[in-house]
Amino acid sequence: MSGSIKRRLVAAVAVVGTSVGLSFVTASPIQGAAAVTVTGKLGAAASGWKVVMVGAGGQSLVSAVDAGGSFSLRTSASAAKRATLQMVDSSNRYVGPIVIGKEKVGKSTCSHHQLAGKSVKLGTLKLNTAQGFAIPAKAPVSTVHTRSAVLAKGTSGQPLSAGTAGIVKVTTAQMNACGKAVKGTSIATSQDANMAMGGDLDNDGLPNALDADDDGDQEVDAVDKTTTESAGMNPWIAVRSTNPLFNASVSTGLTPENVNSVLGTSGNYSIQFFVSNRNLLGQTSLNGVKWVWVDCGNLVYCGGSAPTATNTNTHLQNSNTGVAWKTYNGGFKVESTGSPATSGLDTSLGTNPGGNGNALYLGNRNTGNDPGGSVYWQASVFPNQGANTLTNVKPGDVYTLRFGTDDGEKSVTMMLNPHAVTVPGLTTVNGAAYTGGALKPDASGTLALKFFRPQRLTTTGETGTFKDMGGLRYGIIFMGQMDTPCDIATYSAYDAFTAATGADASDMGNRLAPLTDKQTTDSDTSASATQLSFTIDVRSCIGVATYDAAAAGTSWGIQLNASGQMLTGGMNRASLDLTVTK
């Protein structure tokens, strides 16, 4: 991570404080002084697309692209200041940004993409879907965009990360290449502006909300400790399997069809939505958000004419087989049924009066002093796409989170980021090749485990089918009514990892997975890829007295867990379910 990003992060963290995930203030479509209008024409090839105005703080406004390829957005001048325009295709997947203008700075071409809060007619735009951007055929006057600019790949004006999902290395020199741009309106920014979901932390031309690598270090946001604020609201993923061969380095012939057979089965794969009122309103508020639902557009699993997704985390009960998400309108539930709701909370909230379906329910963390304000909106969504899972559920899928407030409906845009689609591949146990079955601790009650990293699918601009995921956190979890982690003191021989210590050790994610892979970037998948290993003292983790008293043949369920960094309410997880037998 570059020094300039570190300084921006320090400043932002000082402002955000104890918030859970990133806070930002949303804006109504029309507020403040005179309204402004932004129009343009992408052409008939973009018919059925959307153009999303992503505000500086993360708020969003959406315009459908009509049959002729035209779009029109109307909002307040304040909401349009430093906002950007982003394209979403007819399948509801992210395409890339709209560049407003460009200029030459030294030997570099720089692209201007931030609006200056003024009305603008962009006219006909040149759309390049392969390169993931569009730019006006005739540049508008420069006063309609800000002076802020990002480095372009060439004279076309294509922003540095357009067409790549954002997973590119951005150097400090590249970030600063356009610092002397002179065209455009100068608009001051706050010190934490680049950390907001509408900001651009690495100056690569993609807003954080739609950038898979916010800080340009080639660590995807799912695992990057430095982007937990800027990426905090995006949904996270849970993948699990009982098959130790469900790994592309263990099973070199693993195909997308094999992956579909696992991810397409309920209980193995879910998309987790979890946001707080503080996330949505920028401040702690018990009753400021009335209802929340997810507009999936034409994503076939949660939008369109025949969505298939089920929601397995509703207000109806803690764990269920799922309800059709398209007909679920939300509700209210306390986390602890033995305690009353937080004082002052309106328990009639949580249900969407519009009956749109795809709702998040209002959950009340009603015990203790919760810095997030005690209220969270959540859903656990199984896409239910079977053999079509990898075809229809992809990084780049765009969701518009719509929510009700005292000032009317507001919205934010978020994206499904690259994530694990396989689990850790266990290869040896106590020095012997592992081919399946229960794990047997040695005479001292320990297990020495060796395994491959889980994989994600490659994205635009990458070669091959899979990439091994670096930077994940690993640990052993004993499964029961609650996940029970093993203390860091029970681990040894973990040279390839950094152990969580001090304040980091108290983080829930680090308690569940206290060993962080020292290899931070993703790498090519192969049977000769580097494996990871550690030894776990099962006897001490379970409890010496409990383990010693257990009869031979006693079994416990565990997970070899690989997880990302803590986001709002949870973290991306890929887990291999195993059995330990004494």
Contacts of 265 (CB under 8 A, 6+ apart): none
The answer to whether residues 391 and 455 belong to one domain is no
Q: Distance between CA atoms of 438 and 244, rounded to whole angstroms? A: 11
pLDDT of 330 strictly over 90: yes
pLDDT of residue 231: 62
The answer to whether residues 431 and 547 belong to one domain is yes
* Domain carrying residue 340: 255-415
Burial class (CB in 10 A: 0-12, 13-18, 19+), 108: middle
The fraction of the chain above a pLDDT of 90, given in percent, is 68
Where do we find the tokens 């007619």? 121
Name the least confident of 121-130, 552-561, 563-572: 563-572
Strand blocks (E) in 296-386 = 310-311, 323-324, 332-334, 359-364, 375-382
DSSP annotation of 490: G
pLDDT tens, position by position, 527-541: 999 999 999 999 999
Does some domain include residue 438? yes
**Left if phi > 0, otherwise alpha if psi is -120 to 50, otherwise beta: which for 541?**
alpha
pLDDT tens, position by position, 217-265: 777 777 766 665 666 678 999 999 999 999 999 999 999 999 999 999 9
The answer to whether residues 291 and 440 belong to one domain is no
The answer to whether residues 209 and 268 belong to one domain is no
pLDDT of residue 17: 28
Q: Which of 383, 415, 447 is the last residue of a domain?
A: 415
pLDDT of residue 4: 40
Sheet of 101-105, strands arranged across: 101-105, 108-112, 150-151
CATH number of the domain within which 17 lies: 2.60.40.10
The answer to whether residues 168 and 133 belong to one domain is yes
pLDDT tens, position by position, 436-445: 999 999 999 9
Q: What are phi and psi of 336, to 5 degrees?
A: -110, 110
Does some domain include residue 250? no
pLDDT of residue 227: 62
The answer to whether residues 530 and 462 belong to one domain is yes
The answer to whether residues 374 and 491 belong to one domain is no
Does some domain include residue 454? yes
pLDDT of residue 32: 45
Mean pLDDT of the chain: 87
Q: What is the number of structural domains in the chain?
A: 3
Does some domain include residue 194? yes
The answer to whether residues 122 and 185 belong to one domain is yes
Higher pLDDT, 1 or 187: 187
pLDDT of residue 195: 65
How much is the average pLDDT of 180-198?
77
Contacts of 5 (CB under 8 A, 6+ apart): 175, 201, 202, 215, 216, 226
- H-run or E-run covering 99: none
Q: What are phi and psi of 401, to 5 degrees?
A: -85, 115
Of the spans 12-26, 306-320, 360-374, which averages the highest pLDDT? Answer: 306-320
pTM of the model: 0.89
Of the spans 17-31, 132-146, 312-326, which averages the highest pLDDT? Answer: 132-146
Q: How far, CA to CA in Å, does 427 sit from each of 436, 444, 581?
A: 9, 21, 18
Among 153, 155, 156, 157, CA closest to 145: 157
